[in-house]
């Protein structure tokens, strides 16, 4: 899924059911506890074919999105001396 699609379609307070409908087969269950549920979406950048990172979506016990964060994989692949975009 493209990063821009995620950024424009998902919002704090979004119900879990709506998130799963939006994300479809791209949603990956990361963690399920008594207090929260965390899903992830791998994302790519515009014009890129590979996965650039993972966005994490934290839902409370009522099924509302309460937090979003991400892991940037591009930093893992930078070679010594390369400049980050």
pLDDT in tens, 22-76: 998 989 999 999 999 999 988 776 665 666 678 899 999 999 999 998 876 555 4
Question: In DSSP terms, which residues pair with 43 in a beta bridge?
Answer: 53
In the prediction, which pLDDT does 42 show? 83
d(CA 21, CA 35): 22
Q: Are 75 and 52 in contact (CB under 8 A)?
A: no
Residue 55 lies in a domain: yes
Residue 42 lies in a domain: yes
Strand 37-43 to 28-32 pairing:
antiparallel
Residue 81 lies in a domain: no
Residue 83 lies in a domain: no
Please give the tally of structural domains in the chain: 1
Residue 84 lies in a domain: no
Please give the residue that has the higher pLDDT: either 26 or 6: 26
Please give the residue that has the higher pLDDT: either 10 or 59: 59
The domain spanning residue 62 has which CATH number? Answer: 3.30.1450
Residue 69 lies in a domain: yes
d(CA 81, CA 9): 36
Question: In DSSP terms, which residues pair with 56 in a beta bridge?
Answer: 40, 69
pLDDT band at 80 (very low <50, low <70, confident <90, very high): very low
């Amino acid at each position: 899924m493209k990063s821009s699609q995620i950024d424009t379609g998902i919002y704090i307070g979004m119900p879990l059911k709506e998130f799963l409908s939006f994300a479809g087969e791209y949603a990956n269950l990361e963690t399920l506890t008594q207090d929260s549920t965390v899903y992830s979406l791998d994302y790519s950048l515009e014009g890129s074919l590979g996965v650039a990172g993972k966005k994490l979506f934290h839902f409370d016990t009522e099924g509302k999105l309460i937090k979003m964060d991400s892991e940037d994989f591009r930093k893992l692949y930078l070679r010594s001396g390369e400049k980050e975009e």
